[in-house]
Amino acid sequence: MSARIVALLALFSILLAACGGSNTGSTGGGGATTPTAQTPISVALVTDIGGLNDRGFNHLAYVGYTKAMNEFHFTRQVIESKNQADYVKNLTLAARSADLVFAVGFLMQNAVDQVAHQFPTKKFAIIDGCAVPAGKQDCEALPNVAPLFFKEQEAGCLVGAIAAQMEVDGKAKIPQLRGHNTIGAVGGLPIPPVTRYIAGYKFCAQKVDPSITVVINYSQDFAATDKCKDAALSQINQHNADIIFQVAGGCGVGALDAADQEGVFGIGVDADQNYLHPKSVITSALKKVDVAVYDTISDYAHGKFTNNPPRFDLAHDGVGYGTLSSVVPADAKNKADQFADQIRAGTLVVPETIPS
């Protein structure tokens, strides 16, 4: 074999290795190369006092966090707050080691503002809130804080419509009803995310039937189930409420327990809580916190972060209603779906404040 042929064969081998042996990505449409390896990120999650086992709000945040963790391969950093005095300490601890820190809950607004100022190169995202300086009420637009808000009033509207239509149908269709045309709501604290839910619930219940009575109480707690159970029992036994909407996180599980115990109906919140009492929890007002957390982490992993993200609403599948129990008649579901279509179309605007 001539020296020229040997040289050509050697050159061909080198080119073949270069083309076939160093492929680190996949080719997408148009010939663009999409890397398979993400730039390493570090993300921490700081819960509110309800903790990961609240079966709702904090749990959903963790679901979204876990999904992102499995996809983007960052190390788990989760800190559970036991009381409000923990907020600044926990957020500071998280910010020291993570590049993106989630604060789960409206009550953490002041703490987020303080810690975000201390760590200007770190990114923060707060569920249901924004950065609010101590002693102030208005949001401070910080470049490193993403406020993640929802239109809870739209989810509240849908479950309120279901509850009211069931009352309209009455005992003829639903023998378990007591027949007093009364429904209730048990909130945790009267803070905006809670009152928005209840505002929509009452507004759309009264839109279905202006004569319906809506009883509202606050447990002043998001964790102690006995407090919410007592509030619900009062609504059931003293006000003859047939349906109780819990808007109190882990505490509200006690309200659902009370409804089941007394043979009436409950409505869950944030997550789909029908599994807690499949026969008595007729549906749940869904707030897709898991989607908000996952989407924020995914954007960050791909180099995107904004301090002015869009609000999660019905039109963008950020809120809705959950599993319907078999006791819910078709006309109640149809009423909720009718209102949902009107909300998406902009012909029904649900207020954020509770109607008088």
Kindly state whether residue 355 falls inside one of the protein's structural domains: no
End of a domain among 148, 165, 195?
148
- DSSP state, 99? S
Instruction: Let me know whether 84 and 228 are in one domain.
Output: no
The CATH code of the domain that includes 99 is 3.40.50.2300
Instruction: Let me know whether 162 and 144 are in one domain.
Output: no
Report helix angle 152-173 to 330-345, nearest 10. Answer: 160
> Which residue bears the tokens 């979204």?
64
In whole angstroms, what is the distance from residue 328 CA to residue 57 CA?
Answer: 25
**Mean pLDDT value of segment 108-129:** 98
Contact 134, 293 (CB under 8 A): no
> What contacts 326, CB < 8 A, 6 or more positions away?
none
Instruction: Let me know whether 332 and 260 are in one domain.
Output: yes
Predicted pLDDT of residue 53: 87
Q: Give how many domains the chain has, as a whole number.
A: 2
Could you tell me the pLDDT band of residue 8, with boundaries at 50, 70 and 90? very low
Instruction: Let me know whether 182 and 320 are in one domain.
Output: yes
End of a domain among 130, 148, 166?
148
Kindly state whether residue 94 falls inside one of the protein's structural domains: yes
Instruction: Let me know whether 119 and 201 are in one domain.
Output: no
In whole angstroms, what is the distance from residue 308 CA to residue 296 CA?
Answer: 12
Instruction: Let me know whether 62 and 136 are in one domain.
Output: yes
First to last CA, the chain: 98
Q: Residue 241 has which token pair?
A: 């409420």
Is pLDDT of 269 > 80?
yes
Buried/exposed 265-303: b ≥16 CB within 10 Å, e otherwise? bbbbbbbbbbebbeebbbbbbbbbbbbbbbbbbbebbee
Kindly state whether residue 335 falls inside one of the protein's structural domains: yes
Tens digit of each residue's pLDDT (9 = 90 or more) over 205-259: 999 999 999 999 999 999 999 999 999 999 999 999 999 999 999 999 999 999 9
> What contacts 224, CB < 8 A, 6 or more positions away?
251, 254
Instruction: Let me know whether 62 and 83 are in one domain.
Output: yes
- DSSP state, 243? E
Could you tell me the pLDDT band of residue 56, with boundaries at 50, 70 and 90? confident
Closest CA to 330 of 216, 137, 166, 160: 166
Kindly state whether residue 187 falls inside one of the protein's structural domains: yes
Predicted pLDDT of residue 38: 56
Kindly state whether residue 32 falls inside one of the protein's structural domains: no
Helix, strand and coil in the chain, % to nearest 5: 45, 15, 40
End of a domain among 148, 174, 209?
148
Instruction: Let me know whether 201 and 239 are in one domain.
Output: yes
Cβ count near 122 (within 10 Å): 21
Buried/exposed 193-230: b ≥16 CB within 10 Å, e otherwise? bbbbbbbbbbbbbbbbeeebbbbbbbbebbbbbebbbb
Enter the pTM of the model: 0.85
Closest CA to 72 of 97, 32, 41: 41
Kindly state whether residue 33 falls inside one of the protein's structural domains: no
Tens digit of each residue's pLDDT (9 = 90 or more) over 285-308: 999 999 999 999 999 999 999 999
Instruction: Let me know whether 193 and 322 are in one domain.
Output: yes
Closest CA to 158 of 31, 5, 336, 353: 336
Kindly state whether residue 308 falls inside one of the protein's structural domains: no
Side-chain-side CA neighbours of residue 303 (13 Å): 2
Instruction: Let me know whether 144 and 190 are in one domain.
Output: no
Dihedral in degrees, nearest 10, Cα atoms 175, 179, 181, 182: -90
Is pLDDT of 17 > 60?
no
Sheet holding 145-148, edge to edge: 78-79, 43-46, 100-104, 123-127, 145-148
Helices marked H in 127-270 — which ranges? Answer: 152-173, 192-208, 225-239, 253-261
In whole angstroms, what is the distance from residue 76 CA to residue 161 CA?
Answer: 40
Q: Which helix (H) or strand (E) holds 38?
A: none
In whole angstroms, what is the distance from residue 81 CA to residue 52 CA?
Answer: 10
Kindly state whether residue 109 falls inside one of the protein's structural domains: yes
**Mean pLDDT value of segment 169-181:** 93
Instruction: Let me know whether 87 and 210 are in one domain.
Output: no
Domain assignment of residue 121, given as a range? 43-148
Cβ count near 70 (within 10 Å): 9
Instruction: Let me know whether 282 and 158 are in one domain.
Output: yes
